[in-house]
Structures are given as structure tokens and as C-alpha cells.
Amino acid sequence: MKTLFAILALLTLSGCPNTAYFEPTPIAQSGKAMVYIYRPEATNPGKKPLRLSYPEVLMDGTSIGFLKYNKHLALEVEPGKHEFVVTGLTRGAKWEPRDRKYTLEAKAGNSYFMRFRVEFDTAKMSLGTFTGQYIINFHPVDETDAVYEIRHTSKADGE
């Protein structure tokens, strides 16, 4: 037992690598912008709302992937206006809540972070009413705040 404790203490003191580190994807093509869309873990205690449900993300009507719980998508886009829709109205989506939309004006060389957050609406919940009580937001987040949340997510399947 003393040996196990010594090994654990040594590992703690030697400094384990930071596994919760986010490395931005470099913009590969000049004249493009980078957009990150992420779905962080819920901050509610206990069960995680809609953890097994996931919407499809569309940009200008074209699929860019599915946004599962605690995942993120990263994509290069042309400068200009782009409409992003988080929807369950596609064949592969496993999502019941209504669509969320946001129009982003992207500028070349910039990176943008968009958070898709699902939380329980604890103000509307009571004992036995855990379904359908959600707060769902989809909006841009400043990079200085986003990196602290996105670092705990992993890339969505297929990236």
C-alpha cells in the first residue's frame, strides 16, 4: 500500500500532461476563416440533459456533421455571411427540440466559436418532471471564454 501511495505521489509531483488542452486548428487556406461549433457538458448536477440525442449542423443548407454531447466541429469557411442551423429534421439526426439558427458574418483570417448548450431548466422542474424541461442556446462566444469550455470536448466523429 505504501508503494502504491508513493507512486501516486510521484506522478502527482512530476506533473501529468494537461489532457484538457485545446489546440486550435490552423487555417490551411489563406483568405478563409475558421468556425468551431461545440457542445460542452451540461453544468447541471446529476443527469446530463439529452446526452444521447444529437442534432445535425447545417451551414447554408449543407450538412457539416452531427453535434454529439461533449464534442466539437471545426471547419474552414469562405468570408461572408453563413447561416448555421442545428436541427433534428434530417434523416440521421437524433434530436427532438426545435431548430436553433444563427447567421455569422465571417472575416478572412479570423476564428469564431459558437456554443450549442443544453441544460435542464431547473426553475421549471419538480419532482418527477425531468423530461422536456430544457434551456437550449446556440450563439457565438468570445474566444477567451470558449477555449476554457471547448478544451474539454473532443472532435466530432469523422473529423
The DSSP secondary structure of 77-143, one letter per residue, reads: E-SEEEEEEEES-SSS-B--SPPEEEEEEE-TT-EEEEEEEEEE-TTT--TT--SS-EEEEEEEE-H
Q: How confident is the model at residue 130 (pLDDT cuts 50, 70, 90)?
A: low
Cross-strand partners of 74: 36
- pLDDT of amino acid 16: 46
On whether the pTM is more than 0.85, the answer is: no
**Which of 70-84, 113-127, 141-155: highest mean pLDDT?**
70-84
As a whole number, mean pLDDT of residues 117-130 equals 73
- pLDDT of amino acid 146: 93
As a whole number, mean pLDDT of residues 39-63 equals 87
121 to each of 43, 65, 87, 127, 135, how far by Cα in Å?
11, 27, 20, 13, 5
As a whole number, mean pLDDT of residues 126-140 equals 77
- pLDDT of amino acid 67: 96
- pLDDT of amino acid 15: 46
Q: How confident is the model at residue 120 (pLDDT cuts 50, 70, 90)?
A: confident
Domains of the chain: 31-155 (2.60.40)
Question: pLDDT tens digit string along 65-95?
Answer: 999 999 999 999 999 999 999 999 999 999 9
CB burial class (10 A; 0-12, 13-18, 19+) of residue 72? buried
